Amino acid sequence: MWKEYELGKKIKHIREEKGLSQSQVVEKLTEEKIYMSRETLSKIENNSRSISAIELNALCKVFNVDIGDFFHEEELDDMVTFFRKRNFSENSLEEISELQEIVKMFINQEKIYKEEENKENGVII
């Protein structure tokens, strides 16, 4: 499961991954009819302020990501822990861990594919 306090970190991570400054994100949010200051975005990234569903949806559009991108990693990291708590055997846990790594690879491949597709279509991310 994702932890609420990690959402701000994930937003910051994706913003930096996209090579955007806080000011650039705020400007793009304005185009989505979301009006916030750079300071407010900073507070969200530092978990000093919560983010509404509407704001998060607008960030998805600005970053050109699926809302699941804010949560996937944390969910995947917990699969082995989830099954360990239910007393699965070590062999099962190893298989789950391997499966989890395969899923992560597919997710990364999908992201690469989407980025290449966007480049081909002239979409600026």
Q: How confident is the model at residue 123 (pLDDT cuts 50, 70, 90)?
A: low
**Torsion sign (Cα): 16, 18, 3, 5:** positive
Q: Which residue has the higher pLDDT, 119 or 27?
A: 27
CB neighbourhood size of 123 (10 A): 11
Tell me what pLDDT residue 56 has.
Answer: 93
CATH number for domain 1-64, candidates 3.30.70.20, 3.40.190.10, 3.40.50.2300, 1.10.260.40: 1.10.260.40
- In terms of residues, how long is the chain? 125
Q: What is the pLDDT of residues 47-101, one digit of tens each?
A: 899 999 999 999 999 999 888 877 755 444 567 777 777 778 888 888 888 888 8
* In the chain, domain spans: 1-64, 78-125
d(CA 70, CA 35): 21
Write down the pTM of the prediction. 0.56
